[in-house]
């Protein structure tokens, strides 16, 4: 079983994620830096999960054994860790976090000095080193040092300087921030410095996530939406455990869909002739909204690593995932929830989010999942059928079929024995037809087992 997924190492503590794994990853990362003749300094930070303390200790020990110096940021958001790689003149950043996963999980995610997560070739190299135990350990007088640093203040200062602070202060906004008991306190500090009146929910860091589940979905953020509505706040912001994600609530208490938030950010970031990187499951409404502005889309596999890679290409002004990862490539290739919060406040200072959202197109969309025993074999049959039966088919991530009226996507889950079915069209009737066609393709493929 592969150690690394697209989001690094992630899984239950004591099973997939252990101190032994962290130690070996630290050794492998340090050895890789030495082999590449890169800066042998590593920035390390963690989200509030208590297991992160011992994992950071083990990781730091492995790095130091290879002669790599460690700068420990302590409790820090993942975007703070990613940005601090450059700030601390380091060769790698390591975030010990399971992001939006539940409390029993933890993980390790690796970051390059550009702010981009390790891509597939670099993840594969670290995994090969872990499997083979391929590293050289230093003698007693060659061990790396371990020091501490606080990058949150620098991150907050950068955020304030990166937006139109004068316009935000003049708008005198009331903002509710649901930190989700995570590491996103830097957002509160930055918004307060921008002159916003900030009220918080679940602001005390606690890796058991007692206030709500870590993932900031509409269901999990019902209290935030209610507080925004009842308090007449201008907007609400929600983060996950490590604050790489952001979801938003408009001033009328409406929890904005990920596609709506993507359209708002992308429309503001991109100019005519530019492109926006989005995953294959993004709504057609986003594409239509951007097309009206002369902005094209670059579709990617699902996962912020792939969106970031596409966002790094020339002519791509923004990258985003409806799950809540937002990337401004001129600033950083890391999804930065606190920066997204400041950009959202900047937009709200100019025009209320509810008004902006009301101007977006919205089309009927349906999602479902089919449990399968052999998803790889099923998806191969799905692929063969769709390529033979339809003219416009892409197999970038699963199988996506385009029609004049809409599209459907058949995609295997990365973590569960499921094939996910999504269909969308501009009209309800056509969406239902596309969904039934897509579901039938999966059912037929399953029946051939």
Instruction: Just list the catalytic residues.
Output: 99
Concatenating the DSSP letter of every residue in 24-53 gives HHHHHHHHHHHHTT---EEEEEE-S-THHH
Q: Which residue has the tokens 């999966």?
A: 442
Q: Is 30 helix (H, G, I), strand (E, B) or coil?
A: helix
Closest CA to 184 of 77, 45, 103: 77
Structure tokens that stand for 111 in this block = 């970051």
Closest CA to 145 of 90, 188, 100: 90
Q: How far is CA 67 from the centre of its chain?
A: 31
Residue count of the chain, please give it: 449
For 8, which DSSP code? Answer: B
Q: Which residue has the tokens 């005390």?
A: 204
User: What is the bridge-based pairing of β-strands 174-178 and 235-239?
Assistant: parallel
Separation between Cα atoms, residue 265 and residue 353, nearest integer Å: 11
Q: Are 240 and 301 in contact (CB under 8 A)?
A: no
For 143, which DSSP code? Answer: P
Separation between Cα atoms, residue 428 and residue 366, nearest integer Å: 10
Q: DSSP alpha helices (H): ranges in 133-232?
A: 152-162, 165-171, 185-193, 222-231
Separation between Cα atoms, residue 250 and residue 241, nearest integer Å: 22
Closest CA to 240 of 98, 130, 354: 98
Separation between Cα atoms, residue 152 and residue 48, nearest integer Å: 14
β-bridge mates for residue 176, sequence order: 199, 236
Q: Are 83 and 334 in contact (CB under 8 A)?
A: yes
Phi first, then psi: what are they for 397, rounded to 5°? -155, 100
């Amino acid at each position: 079983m592969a150690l690394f997924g697209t989001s690094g190492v992630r899984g239950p503590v004591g099973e997939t994620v252990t101190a032994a794994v962290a130690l070996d990853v630290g050794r492998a990362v340090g050895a890789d830096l030495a082999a590449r003749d890169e800066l042998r300094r590593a920035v390390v930070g963690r989200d509030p999960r208590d297991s992160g303390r011992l994992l950071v200790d083990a990781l730091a020990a492995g790095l130091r054994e290879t002669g790599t110096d460690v700068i420990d940021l302590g409790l820090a958001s993942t975007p703070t860790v990613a940005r601090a790689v450059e700030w601390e003149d380091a060769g790698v950043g390591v975030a010990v976090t399971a992001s939006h996963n539940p409390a029993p999980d933890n993980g390790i995610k690796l970051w390059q000095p550009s702010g981009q997560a390790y891509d597939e070739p670099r993840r594969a190299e670290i995994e090969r080193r872990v499997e083979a135990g391929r590293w050289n350990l230093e003698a007693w007088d060659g061990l790396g040092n371990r020091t501490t640093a606080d990058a949150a203040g620098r991150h907050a200062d950068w955020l304030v300087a990166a937006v139109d602070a004068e316009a935000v202060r003049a708008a005198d906004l009331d903002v509710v921030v649901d930190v989700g008991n995570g590491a996103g306190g830097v957002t509160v500090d930055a918004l307060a410095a921008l002159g916003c009146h900030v009220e918080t929910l679940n602001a005390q860091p606690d890796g058991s996530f007692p206030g709500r589940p870590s993932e900031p979905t509409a269901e999990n953020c019902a209290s935030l939406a209610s507080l925004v509505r009842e308090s007449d706040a201008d907007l609400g912001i929600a983060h996950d455990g490590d604050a790489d994600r952001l979801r938003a609530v408009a001033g009328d208490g409406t929890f904005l869909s990920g596609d709506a938030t993507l359209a708002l950010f992308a429309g503001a970031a991109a100019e005519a002739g530019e492109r926006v990187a989005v995953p294959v499951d993004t709504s057609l409404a986003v594409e239509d909204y951007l097309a009206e502005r002369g902005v094209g889309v670059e579709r990617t596999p699902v996962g912020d690593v792939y969106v970031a890679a596409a966002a790094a290409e020339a002519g791509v002004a923004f990258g985003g995932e409806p799950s809540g990862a937002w990337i401004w490539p001129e600033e950083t290739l890391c999804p930065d929830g606190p920066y997204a919060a400041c950009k959202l406040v900047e937009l709200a200072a100019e025009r209320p989010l509810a008004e902006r959202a009301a101007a977006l197109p919205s089309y009927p969309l349906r999602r479902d999942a089919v449990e399968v025993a052999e998803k790889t074999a099923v998806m191969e049959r799905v692929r063969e059928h769709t390529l033979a039966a339809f003219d416009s088919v892409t197999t970038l991530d699963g199988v996506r079929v385009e029609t004049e009226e809409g599209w459907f996507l058949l995609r295997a889950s990365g973590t569960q024995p499921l094939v996910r079915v999504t269909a969308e069209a501009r009209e309800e009737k056509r969406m239902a037809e596309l969904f039934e066609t897509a579901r039938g393709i999966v059912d037929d493929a399953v029946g051939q087992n």
